[in-house]
Structure 1
Amino acid sequence: PVEAGLGGGSSNAATALYAANTLCGNPASPEDLIEWSADLGSDITFFLGPTGSAYCTGRGEVIEPLDPLPNLRLYVVKPEMGLSTPLVFKTLAASGYSTLSERDPREDLLASFVHGAPGPEDYVNDLEPPAFDLEPSLAAIKAKLLDLSPAAMMSGSGTSLFAVLSPDQSPDPDFPAAFEQACRDDLGLNVQLFDVCFAKRDGHDSWYAPP
């Protein structure tokens, strides 16, 4: 979905670039596509990388592939409202960047992989405060997710939020409908909740292979 903070537009752009190269007989190498994608827009490079996990810097176009994430389940919640990414960044800038985390994200991320699944303290999103200022209902949705898991956060610039289940938690088939109903009853919000898992891939072509 658009305006979700899930890289939907970037993944579509990466797919279009990959498809154009395939239809032309693959004149460009995977490395060429990655280089060109950096000039087309933010985050596209990630969807052309060799793995499903990466440490990304810059505008999201500089990637450092990582080993796949642990096989954990998570819930992703998409409210019906959206937020403009430029507006969220503009609001962050207007705050004087006073809410930015001082942690070293690379060291935190790599350390969490060494110890297995990332813990709740490993999730940081500096775009949450400005997004919540623009759309306070997002904070209310996050509060409901925190009742389920301490590893809950907004994704990207919003408006999707996620909650990572612990290894000893199993997805409840009745939870999505119950959560959506609770958001309607308690918050007056229409949301969709999806039961998903971390994506894994082996090689540049695996995400684009026929099912």
Structure 2
Amino acid sequence: MKLPVIFAGHGSPMIALEDNELTKEFQKIGERVVSEFEKPKAILSFSAHWFTRGTYVQSDPEPRQVYDMYGFPKELYEVQYHPKGCQELTDDILALLPDISINDDWGIEGPQNAYDIGKALAPLREKGYLLLGSGNIVHNLRRLEWDNPNGSPQADRFDAFITGLVKKRDNEKIIHYEDNPDAAYAAPTADHFLPLLYTLGAAQGEKPEIFNNVRNTGSLSMTGYLFGFGEK
């Protein structure tokens, strides 16, 4: 059975402690994966928080938890998450991407390369793996508006622009997202945008379901996309 592909806007780390409409939607999606498909053997995550020069795959049997955020409540730093590594998945990735190597530190690449890697890894969906991109369409921590529960005009425009392209599957324009006049505001660094490119490559031609289509604190977008649901 071919598993779906998911891009999720993760937003503030506080979402790990919150119980709201956003987290309820995440819960529903997890339940849909299991009920409409099957429980994945493992999850391959394209994360905005795995950052270095080059492209690598992780092989650690017990990936470490990193608290790469500051100034949050004590309760957040007490959240424990200890997933197990999956050597079979690592081996399958290396078979599909023979030019990359193992690195249990951090990694990032450019938009076209990210898209091409996602495309190369699409066969993993047929092997029982769920592909998950975790980032944000709009992510500018320097322009946060703490008293604004919604998005700024720039955030709303850019989010709508990208969502429109995803609906049309105009991947070429998304790869060149920096051409948009709001891109410098919405994605001043590529780290949180690139996970979307991996998922688009892994789900070529598939129409998205859109979830959590909201902006908050001015310059964050929580918008996410589901690919492959209803196409089993």
On whether the aligned pair clears a TM of 0.5, the verdict is: no
Task: Report the structure number with the largest CA radius of gyration.
Answer: 1
**TM-score normalised by L of structure 1:** 0.27
**TM-score normalised by L of structure 2:** 0.26
Q: Tell me: higher relative CO, structure 1 or 2? Use CA pairs within 8 A at least 6 residues apart.
A: 2
